[in-house]
Structure 1
Amino acid sequence: MAGFALMMALPQAGAAEPKAEQSLVLDELIVTTTGFGTPRATHTGNIAKIGEFEMEFIRPAQPAEALNRLPGVGIQQGSGAEHLTAIRSPVLTGGAGAGSFLYLEDGVPMRAAGFANVNALMEAMDEISGGVEVIRGPGGARYGSNAEHGLINFLSRPPAPDGDAELTLWGGPHDFYRTSGTASRTLRSGDSTTHGFRGSFAMLHDGGFRADSGLEQQKARLRYDYAAFDTRITATLTAVNTNQETAGFVRGVKAYKNPALYRGNPDPEAYRDAWAVRTAVRMERDIGENLMLVLTPYARSNAMDFLMHFLPGKPVEKNAHWSGGLLSSLVTTLDGGHRIIFGLDNEYTDGWLTEIQYNPTAGIAPNQSPQGVHYDYAVKALVLAPYVHSEWRLAPKTLFTAGLRFEYTRYDYQNYAPVGISGRFLRIPDRVDEFGDFTPKIGLLHEFNEGLTTYVNLARGTRAPQTTDLYRLQRLQVPGEAKSEELDSIEVGARGRISGVTYETNLFYMEKRNYYFRDAGGFNVTDGRTDHAGIEIELSAPLAFGFDIAAAGTYARHTYAFTNITPSEKIRDGDDVDTAPRTLGNLRLGYNFNEGAGRAELEWVHMGSYWMNAGNTVKYDGHDIFNLRLDYEVSENVVLFGKLTNIMNTRYADRADYSDMGMGEERYFPGADRGLYMGVTLRY
């Protein structure tokens, strides 16, 4: 895990950490497991962490640049802030892409479960970060819908004990400019009570390397920490605004290599505007010697308006929802090192969506996408989820974990468009849908010695259908036929340190049922099945003369486990799922110089080849990209940094796709040319 890879822990410039704390240690604390600090070495199952200082060193233009350093993670960047995610999965789109991954901020979902966003990382604030933790495969019993293929937990930066302040400015090609800053202060009273405050902001302007594209983002966060003898409170308020001029697919055989095409934009009118505001207050109260109550009320509001340039007729979608809830748990510690967490999560959401096509459809099958209202509906949702998570110390070096979650979901749908079929679109009458899902988890971990800790983990992940799965229907579909997806997973892993090499590796196998996706003809499939199997490895080690090396690699197969033959697409049992590279890799050679004041890193990013269509007839060849990063601490208050991306100026595609409709065509999001970025951080 490349958090597990503070990858040689980056003695990076400006990090005032002592050397001993910069080396990679297995007892680094993680919070995603139980909500409290838990040593990574005793986590039953995989978990990766990219720490605060590594995030500062990477300085990702978009979160994918950092997250793709982890094994099993392959996020494909689209235009601007757009992206599609893969975590132990193919790159998933639509409701599957939105609903199969859980995105958290300090353990609280950033969106309501049935109203997820396929571009969810655009709502994260990674510029001023306390780190990122990632679990691949189903999350634990503490996490419900969407923690199916994996979860990403963004940690806000806490106030510094003695206060701090910093301002960062950097720029690059195509009018790329980013400014971010943060400041904190901690106050102490005589009774050991502390009040900590932190304010952070980030602003981005990116002109885009393709025609008629660009991105503007503004982000801000306030955090307050309170600590007393028996009470701890953390409160956050985060706001994100995104305004994007979107560049669509370039089309044609190997179009991403064509000098006349790859910088162009066939959809100059495309755009995406979105904002999100969320707040949460985590309160911990010791109510007994071995008993603690944790309450986290939260609220959020989101809205988005964008042109669906990837669909016939290019309709405009507008959606919004507000939601609020309470995460509650009772934590008891028993003699012998055992712990039990009893929890109850509840959430209420009120959302709406419209899809309207303002112009006639040109080209293929205009009657399938008529001008006018396609969908106009509202959904009220209620989620109730009791759970139990337990940890049993069977022996000093053996830990058994078991958990069970039940999640009840109720959707109350109201339709405001004419009922019936219009082209390919089906608008259904008002209805109520309910789902009940159990997710059991068990795991066993044993520490043989410092060099070897092994674990086995069995888990089920589920997701109730997204509201778009249920109510944005196509003709020939039957209302209510979508079921909750289920994914059963087993993984066997080992971690440790041998002769200075820190490692983690695991084997996994997963089966998914009720896979809901849109086929190449644009119609929804409600009962797909897929299998997923692979091996992941992560290594890091110091070398001589200030050098160190770190690597993350994945070999996996994601295959269809059913057959579905249609005029537009042929899915066969055993074929690879489209956009599912078998190999992913990241290798980094680091060098610390001038007694740790400076750090340089050469990075190799590998994306294996993959099929662009479900019929396995058109393939993207994959790519290898090299990047260089450099930080240098000029003084205690000034850090200079830079990075050179795509050193070899390789022509590659961030995303390769194939449309089987009509005569069929290759479609690509071209990767950016070589780019030089430089900046400065001022610390006070």
Structure 2
Amino acid sequence: MRKFAHKNKKEAEKMIGKTKISLLVTAALFSSGQVIAEKGSIALDELVVTGTRSETALRELAGNTGKVSEEEIDLINADHIEESLARVSGVHIQRGNGAESLVALRSPVLTGPGAAGAFLFMEDGIPLRAAGFANNNGLAEAHYEWAGGMEVIRGPGSALYGSNAVHGLINVLSRAPSLELERELDFTFGSDDLYKVKGTVSDTVGAHGYRVSFSGTDFGGWRDEESYGQQKITARHDYFAPNGDSFQTVFSAFNLNQETAGFIESSDKKAYEDSSLMKTNNDPDAYRDWWSVRLSTRWDHVMDNGNTLSITPYLRNNRMEFRQHYLPSRAIEENEHTSLGTQIAYYMDLNGGHEVIVGTDLEYTDGSLQQTQERASYAFFGKNRQQGIHYDYDVEAVTIAPYIHAEWVLAEKWRATTGLRFEHVEYDYDNNVAAGTGEADGSACFAAPSECLYLRPADREDTFNDWSPKLGLVYLLNENHSVFANYARGHRAPQTTDLYRLQNQQLVGDLDSEKADSLEIGMRGNAGIVDYEVAAFYMKKKNFFFRDPDGLNVSNGRTKHRGIEASISLPLGEQFDVAANYTYAKHTYDFDNASSGTASGNEVDTAPRHIANVRLGWNFNTNSRAELEWAHMGDYFLDPANEYEYDGHDLVNLRVETQLSKSLTLHGQVKNILDEEYADRADFAFGSYRFFPGQSTSYQVGASYSF
């Protein structure tokens, strides 16, 4: 039920002594966020879980962690996770069509092969996809519509997280069971045939707490022949055994069927200002069908010595089929993988307030990919694209990653974090297409084999070993302010698509793990009525793998990243409040590559220097709130040579929620109030500007009924 967090906390405090399960639920509720009037607050006593896989006070955290609370999630009622994560500085998510997206965390918006491998997407601390099988759109699988909160670590994660946490990680937390029976149904209707329904039922009975939540979206679309239907369900069960052991089991399922509208291509850099053009769809046959299931159980056992052993086995399976509408071949890709893994951690509380975590992550994955071109063979930008199968392979992957993470009390006001992770990744690749049957292996090409685009490696095995150190310091200035400094290394073994979906100009086996070394300093605190956090970072990355404007893969790149992130919130009298987050960042190439026009010092494409989000809130009645949001996107270059540019945009949105009775809440929103003409995403490729157009002014109204 939609309610203020402080109300939940008071109810929880009254019931602490009733059952052991109440303690667990109370902790989850407490960590879910602040009251709505404190949106954006980073109060130093707030708890976060992602940094250490257990609850930790933000004031003692050596690093920059952002959070979106449960109450904010309910108010936003997002159509896309981008709308929620826009409240976190350092985060930039560009929407494609439907559920598609591209992510930036202290980085440019990364595209092409390997892009998703730069970020770790998780639900309750478990990656949504296997490390070598990431997908740019992977956040769509998370049940953010019913999340209990979202936490973002910007920059490389701690030693507890390995592959893919190069630029940062996003952890979507499942919503905890309620203390008393809770049932809710919510219906939303919007412009362009948008229909959403979601519901939840939850209760705690004795030592058992449960919650089952579902959500469904059907969108008719505002562009020609676009639409999508999406369904999600999450079931969570919490149990406290008589011996003090606790169990948290989560099952999640996701399904998407999307008719995709692709890029608008034009020679005009401001084609997105032509509303009639932006509604067209140049690839009406594009689609994306995608489903996934996940199951995990976390078992925490308190030892006789007071330490805790935690074991979390999990299973995941997902399949995806889609047309690559963003590439000239318009090939169809079919990929899937099944994983079985476990996270093992031993938590030790030492004398003097020190804490040590020793653990190992183990995972086995069996995956496959097939890419097939339906259209007739043709030449484009000097490369031949052959009709038929480009790639068809299976990969078995094994990951073994032991680590140690420690929190030290150096003195009364000094805290230190140390960590070290070793990650061993093995790939066993099997090519399923015989030589001499297509362009991909340089044979049977309709023109000179040297001009073929695709390269299909023979069967092979690859192994990668990587170390990730971390060192952080926190100084508690007083009860209200703390400063921190942090060094961390992020890494990822190459994605399977990096290694085995090669192009003809590449060399087989010529890839190494991507690595990023990051330094940051920051300060967070409360100055009177003002909550604030500010951090500055500097990062260098090597073995950067990307795709140039001609669609060709470039490996062994190097980049630099530096910037400042800030967030602030404060009340304005008794009813009003304001919260803002701002990011200034400069992302540049640190190498030269003549073929792509890359020069050291050039800005990486799709890397706006300025991003801001400001919210003015008005609690105009008890359990009623209106929020006016301004989202600013600065200009950015569209190509490595910095010859083409997008001018940026500003959007204004309004959200309102009012509780009419104990059972009924009404909510509504207007997006893009000023009817800004803009592009959700812009780039320059294959000699043309390309845009995913932004939607014009749209409306939504809905009602939530609790019973």
Q: State if a TM-score over 0.5 links the two structures.
A: yes
Change (3 A) 1:669 1:333: same
Q: Quote how far apart the aligned CAs of 1:519 are.
A: 1.6
Moved more, 208-217 or 461-470: 208-217
SS in structure 2 opposite 1:273? strand
- More displaced 10-residue stretch of structure 1: 485-494 or 356-365: 356-365
Equivalent residue runs for 1:637-676 within 5 Å:
637-659=663-685, 661=686, 664-676=687-699
Residues 337-396 of structure 1 show CA distances to partners (whole Å, capped at 9, x for unaligned) of 001100011100000000011121467358611101100100000000000000110112
Q: State how 1:517-666 maps to structure 2 within 5 Å.
A: 517-566=546-595, 569-594=596-621, 596-659=622-685, 661=686, 664-666=687-689
- Separation in structure 1 between the aligned mates of residue 576 and residue 530 of structure 2, nearest angstrom: 13
Range that drifts further, 60-69 or 530-539: 60-69
SS in 2 for 1:368: strand
Counterpart in 1 of 2:365?
349
1:15–1:53 contact (8 Å) kept in structure 2: no
Query: Contact 1:14 / 1:636 at 8 angstroms: preserved in 2?
Result: no
Residue 389, structure 1, aligned to residue 412, structure 2: no
**Offset, 1:442:** 0.5
Separation (CA, whole Å) in 2 of partners of 1:344 and 1:12: 38
- The equivalences for 1:42-61 within 5 A come to 42-61=60-79
Aligned: 1:330 with 2:330: no
Q: Contact conserved, 1:12 with 1:598, CA < 8 A, in 2?
A: no
Q: What is residue 105 of structure 2 aligned with on the other side?
A: 87
1:238 matched residue in structure 2: 252
Correspondence list, 1:95-134, <5 A: 95-134=113-152
Structure 2 CA distance for partners of 1:365 and 1:622, relative to 1, 3 Å:
closer
Per-residue CA deviation, residues 135-163 of structure 1 (Å, 9 max, x unaligned), is: 00000000010011010001001111112
Alpha-carbon distance in 2 for matches of 1:491, 1:651: 36
Question: What is the deviation of 1:186?
Answer: 1.2
Name which of structure 1's ranges 58-67 and 12-21 shifts more when overlaid on structure 2. 12-21
**Separation in 2, partners of 1:32, 1:364:** 46
Equivalent position of 1:5 in the other structure:
none
- Contact 1:411/1:434 (<8 A) preserved: yes
3-state SS, counterpart of residue 367 of structure 2: strand
Residue aligned with 1:74, SS: strand
Moved more, 427-436 or 246-255: 246-255
1:487 aligns to what?
A: 516
More divergent stretch after superposition (350-359 vs 306-315): 306-315
Which of the numbers 335, 359, 374 marks the counterpart of 1:358? 374
Pairing of 1:289-438 with structure 2 (within 5 A): 289-361=305-377, 364=380, 368-419=384-435, 420-421=441-442, 423-438=452-467
Query: Higher mean Cα deviation, 614-623 or 354-363?
Result: 354-363
Cα 1:54–1:442, aligned 2, differ >3 Å: closer, same or farther?
A: same
Q: In structure 2, the residue corresponding to 1:261 is in which secondary structure?
A: helix
Distance in 2, matches of 1:543 and 1:365, equals 58
Name the CA shift for 1:21/1:579 in 2 (closer, same or farther; >3 Å). Answer: closer
How far did residue 476 of structure 1 move?
2.2
Question: Partners of 1:150 and 1:655 in 2: how far apart?
Answer: 21
Note the C-alpha offset of 1:42. Answer: 1.2
- Deviation of residue 452 (structure 1)? 2.1
Are the counterparts in 2 of residues 327 and 345 from structure 1 also a CA contact under 8 Å?
yes
Correspondence 1:196 to 2:225: no
- The aligned amino acid for 1:683 is S
- Note closer, same or farther for the CA distance 1:315–1:256 as it changes in structure 2 (3 Å cut): same
C-alpha contact (below 8 Å) 1:313/1:360 kept by paired residues: no
SS in structure 2 of the partner of residue 678 of structure 1: strand
For 1:99, what is the secondary structure of its paired residue? Answer: helix
Alignment correspondent of 1:513: 542
CA contact (8 A) 1:13 1:597 kept: no
Post-superposition Cα deviations, 1:262-314, rounded to whole Å, max 9, x if no partner, equal 11111111000000001110000001233110000000001000011121221
> Per the alignment, in what secondary structure is the counterpart of residue 57 of structure 1?
helix
Instruction: Give the distance between the partners of 1:259 and 1:28, measured in 2 at CA.
Output: 45
Local SS of the residue matching 1:33:
coil
Alpha-carbon offset, residue 40 of structure 1: 1.3
The residue number in structure 2 matching 1:39 is 57
Change (3 A) 1:622 1:443: same
2:160 to 142, 152, 166: 142
Give the 3 Å change call, closer, same or farther, for CA 448–265 of structure 1 in structure 2.
Answer: same
Query: Would you say 1:443 and 2:459 are equivalent positions?
Result: no
SS in 1 for 2:145: coil
Q: Verify the 8 A CA contact 2:341 2:364 in the aligned structure 1.
A: yes
| Contact 1:32-1:107 within 8 A present in 2 as well | yes
Q: 1:476 aligns with which of 491, 505, 525?
A: 505
SS at match of 1:64: helix
Q: Is the 8 A contact 1:578 1:611 kept in 2?
A: yes
- How big is the shift at 1:34? 1.3
When structure 1 is superposed on structure 2, of 401-410 and 229-238 the one drifting more is: 229-238
Measure, in 2, the Cα distance between the counterparts of 1:392 and 1:366.
58
Contact 1:360 1:366 in 2 (8 A): no
Q: Distance in 2 between matches of 1:577 and 1:549?
A: 33
- The reply on whether 1:278 has 2:291 as its aligned counterpart is no
> Which runs of 5 or more residues in structure 2 are unaligned?
12-32, 436-440, 446-451
Which one-letter code corresponds to 2:277 in the other structure? L
On the 8 A contact 2:51/2:153 being kept in 1, the answer is no
CA distance in structure 1 between the partners assigned to 2:199 and 2:501 by the alignment: 41
Q: CA offsets per residue over residues 518-568 of structure 1, 9 Å max, x none?
A: 1222221111000000000000000114110000000000000000011xx
Read off the aligned partner of 1:671 and give its amino acid letter. G
Task: Answer yes or no: is 1:216 the counterpart of 2:242.
Answer: no
Equivalent residue for 2:198?
A: 180
| Coordinate RMSD, CA, aligned | 1.6
How far has the Cα of 1:259 moved from its partner? 2.6
Using the TM superposition, give the Cα deviation of residue 53 of structure 1 relative to its aligned residue in structure 2, in angstroms.
1.0
Are the structure 2 counterparts of residues 21 and 490 from structure 1 closer, same or farther at C-alpha, using a change threshold of 3 Å? closer
User: Which residue pairs with 1:7 in the alignment?
Assistant: none
Q: CA deviation at 1:30?
A: 0.9
Q: Which moved more, 1:442-451 or 1:579-588?
A: 442-451
Amino acid at match of 1:206: F
Distance in 2 of aligned mates of 1:361 and 1:214: 30
Paired AA for residue 675 in structure 1: S
Q: Provide Cα deviations, 1:594-651, integer angstroms capped at 9, x if missing partner.
A: 2x32111110000000001111011100000000010001011111000110000000
Distance 1:344 1:545, change over 3 A: closer
Closer/same/farther in 2, CA of residues 365 and 512 from structure 1, 3 Å limit? closer
Report % sequence identity.
47
Are 1:225 and 2:248 counterparts?
no
Equivalent position SS for 1:260: helix
Q: Supply the AA of the counterpart residue of 1:123.
A: E
Q: Using the alignment, how far apart are the partners of 1:219 and 1:281 within structure 2?
A: 19
Paired residue type of 2:112: G
Question: Which contiguous aligned blocks of 4+ residues in structure 1 show a shift greater than 3 angstroms?
Answer: 10-21
The amino acid across from 2:536 in the alignment is L
Paired residue type of 1:591: W
Structure 2 counterpart of 1:248, from 254, 262, 265: 262
